[in-house]
Amino acid sequence: MTNAIIVVILIVVMILAGKGAVKHLKGEGGCCGGGSVVKEPDKKLTGTVIKTKVFKIDGMHCENCTNRVKRAINRIDGVSAKLSLRKKEAVVEYEREVDDSEITGAIEALDYKVLSVTDK
């Protein structure tokens, strides 16, 4: 009888853990910052957009991750980023020449990996 109770408790714990893992992998949980997520506002560029590039990023799992990456890119003068968690990418608009390595460095300093950079 005791074994049956322990097995039932373990099954319940496993079900709850599985639900949490699925939510986490879909990017719906607060994995990196916990709690509620306030979307990072878009940065408005004052000059003319001279080019747009797409940075594919590995390691973003939730809205907190995208907010961190967006803040890091938007701190760079002359660029503005819009991120998509579903596509795992940042679309970066430039109003001045900025080397890709500066943006890649800002992203990878947060422990994410830039997989590719392409012109849009």
Instruction: Return the closest-CA partner of residue 57 out of 110, 119, 107.
Output: 107
Are the beta carbons of 106 and 49 closer than 8 angstroms? Answer: no
- 51-119: which CATH architecture? 2-Layer Sandwich (3.30)
Instruction: Return the closest-CA partner of residue 110 out of 54, 75, 68.
Output: 68
Full-model pTM: 0.71
Instruction: Pick the range with the lowest mean pLDDT from 35-39, 86-90, 112-116.
Output: 35-39
Give the model confidence (pLDDT) of 70-108 as tens digits: 999 999 999 999 999 999 999 999 999 999 999 999 999
Question: Where are the chain's structural domains?
Answer: 51-119
Locate all alpha helices (DSSP H) within the chain, ordered by sequence. 2-25, 63-74, 100-108
Res 15: pLDDT: 87
Is a pLDDT exceeding 60 seen at residue 30?
Answer: no
In whole angstroms, what is the distance from residue 12 CA to residue 53 CA?
47
Is a pLDDT exceeding 70 seen at residue 33?
Answer: no
Give the model confidence (pLDDT) of 52-72 as tens digits: 999 999 999 888 899 999 999
Res 16: pLDDT: 82
In whole angstroms, what is the distance from residue 55 CA to residue 31 CA?
22
